[in-house]
Amino acid sequence: MRIAMIGTGYVGLVSGACFADFGHNVTCVDKDAEKIASLERGEIPIFEPGLDTLVETNVKAKRLDFTTDLSVSVAEADAVFIAVGTPSRRGDGHADLTYVYAAAREIARAVSGFTVVVNKSTVPVGTGDEVERVIRETNPSADVVVASNPEFLREGAAIRDFKFPDRIVIGTSDERGRKVLAEIYRPLSLNQGPLMFTARRTAELIKYAANAFLATKITFINEIADLSEKVGADVQEVARGIGLDNRIGSKFLHAGPGYGGSCFPKDTRALIKIAQDYDVQLRIVEAVLGVNDNRKRAMARKVAAAAGGSLRGKTIAVLGLTFKPDTDDMREAPSIPLVTGLLDMGAKVRAHDPAGMEQARKELPDIEYCEDPYTCAKGADAMVLVTEWVQYRAMDLERLRREMAQPVVVDLRNIYRPEEMAAHGFVYESVGRPSKGK
Ligand SMILES: NC(=O)c1ccc[n+]([C@@H]2O[C@H](COP(=O)([O-])OP(=O)(O)OC[C@H]3O[C@@H](n4cnc5c(N)ncnc54)[C@H](O)[C@@H]3O)[C@@H](O)[C@H]2O)c1
How many CB atoms are located within 10 Å of the residue 95 CB?
Answer: 24
Give pLDDT, residue 438: 53
Mean pLDDT, range 423-436, rounded to an integer:
92
328 neighbors 360 (Cβ within 8 angstroms): no
pLDDT band at 436 (very low <50, low <70, confident <90, very high): low
pLDDT band at 252 (very low <50, low <70, confident <90, very high): very high
Is the CATH code 1.10.10.10 the one for domain 297-429? no
428 neighbors 409 (Cβ within 8 angstroms): yes
Give pLDDT, residue 64: 98
Quick check: CB of 177 below 6 Å from ligand 1? no
Give pLDDT, residue 297: 87
Cα 417 to middle of ligand 1, angstroms:
38
| CA dist., res. 393 & res. 390, Å (int) | 5
One of 1.10.3720.10, 1.20.1740.10, 1.10.1040.10, 1.10.1060.10 is the CATH number of 208-289, namely 1.10.1040.10
Give pLDDT, residue 193: 67
- Taking the domains of the chain in order of start, what are their residue ranges? 2-198, 208-289, 297-429
Q: Is residue 11 predicted with pLDDT exceeding 70?
A: yes
Q: 2-198 has which CATH code? A: 3.40.50.720
Quick check: CB of 82 below 6 Å from ligand 1? no
Same fold, 2-198 and 297-429: yes
Out of 69, 262, 323, give the residue to mutate to test ligand 1, the one with the largest number of ligand atoms within 8 Å of its CB. 262
Query: Checking phi first, is residue 407 left (phi over 0); if not, alpha (psi -120 to 50) or beta?
Result: beta
Give pLDDT, residue 91: 86
The per-residue pLDDT for range 145-173, each reduced to its tens digit, is: 999 999 999 999 999 999 999 999 999 99
| CA dist., res. 190 & res. 169, Å (int) | 17
The partner residues of 79 in beta bridges, in order of sequence, read: 3, 116
Quick check: CB of 12 below 6 Å from ligand 1? yes
293 neighbors 93 (Cβ within 8 angstroms): no
pTM of the model: 0.96
CA angle 266, 18, 198 (to 5 degrees): 60
Pick the closest to residue 127 from 56, 207, 226, 11 (CA basis): 207
| Sign of the C-alpha dihedral computed for residues 37, 43, 46 and 48 taken in this order | positive
Give pLDDT, residue 191: 66
Mean pLDDT taken over the chain: 96
**370 carries an active-site annotation:** no
pLDDT band at 384 (very low <50, low <70, confident <90, very high): very high
| CA dist., res. 206 & res. 169, Å (int) | 8
Out of 15, 28, 30, 207, give the residue to mutate to test ligand 1, the one with the largest number of ligand atoms within 8 Å of its CB. 30
